[in-house]
Amino acid sequence: MNYDLIIIGAGPAGYVAAEYAGKHKLKTLVVEKEYFGGVCLNVGCIPTKTLLKRAKIVDYLRHAQDYGISINGQVALNWNQLLEQKGKVVSKLVGGVKAIIASAKAETVMGEAKVLDPNTVEVAGKTYTTKSIVVATGSRPRYLTLPGFAEARQNGFVIDSTQALSLEGVPRKLVVVGGGVIGIEFAFLYASLGSEVTILQGVDRILEIFDTEVSDLVAKLLQTKNVKIITNAQVTRANNNEVFYSQNGQEGSVVGDRILVSIGRIPNTECLDGLNLQRDERNRIVLNQDLQTSIPNIYIVGDANAQLMLAHFAYQQGRYAVNHILNKKQVKPAQKLTCPSCIYTNPEVASVGYTEMELKKQGIPYVKTNLVLAHCGKAIADNETNGFVKMMFDPQTGKILGCCIIAATASDMIAELALAMDAGLTLFDIANSISPHPTINEMIADVCKKALFDHFK
């Protein structure tokens, strides 16, 4: 059959691309091999946040006395009920994705796709022809290939982030290999639910892509949950439930009921292996600024291009690719600098723009201002004063260069700053805006007012 567009993958980038294509009357086929909604909806951000919300409630209940509330008896956790609730959330949203694709009048086929040539895709032995192809095949967890890890994985001791969402119970001891975003979220989750958690991090701090204030505060918060963090730990091997590492020339080991390996993700681009596409020195497929491969009617979007593995970044790339196919100017390219990133710990972490260490490394002039949540009436009323808002500005124009927030509502607050950066607003604009009171969000305007006084008299 002939199509205007074949989309391979029905995750965030794929289903949004299908929706946009449908609005513009493109005859579209969506190919999906496993999950409608992709990793994010089924075994990633949505189920993780569902469980993290329950873990946050457990935290509140265990510290109810801090809020003047007495609870008689022990806080009991029903793990199976939590998993059931997670499944219901996922099922509901998967139904929503299927409805979006159906309303776009896109056809769907289940199976693994293989791109045979620039205009032909094979699925389950059948071929489909098309004018354009959007590859939105997502990513998968990266595995450790060190001695013993394959065997430990086969024996059920070593798990990835997908498996960590469906364990038969809360592990008594959990070892997390990797102190990035995924590892830290799971450390918070299982520590809140009662696990004894140890994090093995290969460098000198967790969350090394964030500024040190973020790493330091998150580490302190983890330690209040009795999470042990071992930095500069170079993992060397595994023996079933025991992980060995080298630290400053000394060998150590840690034992866990489960060992979660969270060391990043790998893009799924095998469907394109039969094509002679231009690749870089690391064998990654080269794309231009419009997300086109060296065969211009084939686009790669979302996690599959590994530019920024975030669902909201993928949404914009999916829309942009179809917009480019249509030769329209309605959609802006996704910009990494103004795309916010969030960590759904308790409190949350969110950032957008440059980090301070990036500004220093690149020699970009800046001034900075920060306020701690202990100065915020709403945070004090909520008894949630762990955190801060830090912003960096251009010293000449006052434009926002970057921001990081640690607060209970950081993931909601950061959207205002992403929009402000996209729109080219300055601290003068935000300082003169009126925020509702009392909110934690008003800290953003307060930081800008302080910066105005401190740096722009």
* Entry pTM: 0.96
292: CB partners within 8 A, 6+ apart: 298, 299, 324
Average of pLDDT values for 184-210? 98
State yes or no: is 437 an active-site residue.
Answer: yes
Q: What is the 3-state secondary structure (H, E, C) of 153-214?
A: HHCCCEECCCHHHCCCCCCCEEEEECCCHHHHHHHHHHHHCCCEEEEECCCCCCCCCCCHHH
Give pairs for 216-222: CB < 8 Å, separation 24+.
217/386, 217/387, 217/388, 217/406, 218/184, 218/343, 218/345, 218/349, 218/406, 221/345, 221/346, 221/347, 221/386, 222/184, 222/187, 222/188, 222/191, 222/197
Q: What is the pLDDT of residue 72?
A: 83
The more confidently predicted of residues 294 and 62 is: 294
Q: Which of 63, 324, 437, 455 is catalytic?
A: 437
Identical topology for domains 2-140+266-325 and 149-263: yes
Residue 1 pLDDT greater than 90, yes or no: no
Residue 213 pLDDT greater than 90, yes or no: yes
Nearest to 28 by CA among 274, 326, 296, 329: 326
Nearest to 226 by CA among 178, 182, 267, 172: 172
Q: What is the pLDDT of residue 417?
A: 98
Is the CB of residue 221 less than 8 Å from the CB of residue 198? no
Report the mean per-residue pLDDT for the chain: 97
CATH number given to 341-455:
3.30.390.30
The residue extents of the domains of the chain are: 2-140+266-325, 149-263, 341-455
149-263 is classed in which CATH architecture? 3-Layer(bba) Sandwich (3.50)
Categorize the per-residue pLDDT at 396 as very low, low, confident or very high, splitting at 50, 70 and 90.
very high
Query: Which residues fall in the annotated binding site?
Result: 49, 137-139, 178-185, 264, 303, 309-312
Q: What is the pLDDT of residue 292?
A: 98
Query: Which residues fall in the annotated binding site for NAD(+)?
Result: 178-185, 264
Categorize the per-residue pLDDT at 22 as very low, low, confident or very high, splitting at 50, 70 and 90.
very high
Query: Which residues fall in the annotated binding site for FAD?
Result: 49, 137-139, 303, 309-312
CATH number given to 2-140+266-325:
3.50.50.60
Residue 457 pLDDT greater than 80, yes or no: no
Burial label, 254 (beta-carbon count in 10 A; 0-12, 13-18, 19+) = buried
Categorize the per-residue pLDDT at 340 as very low, low, confident or very high, splitting at 50, 70 and 90.
very high
CA gap 295, 255 in Å, rounded:
49
Express each pLDDT in 434-450 by its tens digit: 999 999 999 999 999 99
- H/E run at residue 356: helix 356-362
CA gap 81, 351 in Å, rounded:
33
Residue 75 pLDDT greater than 90, yes or no: no
Residue 13 pLDDT greater than 80, yes or no: yes
Average of pLDDT values for 392-411? 98
**411 C-beta neighbours (distance < 10 Å), count:** 18
Q: What is the pLDDT of residue 74?
A: 80
Average of pLDDT values for 217-243? 98
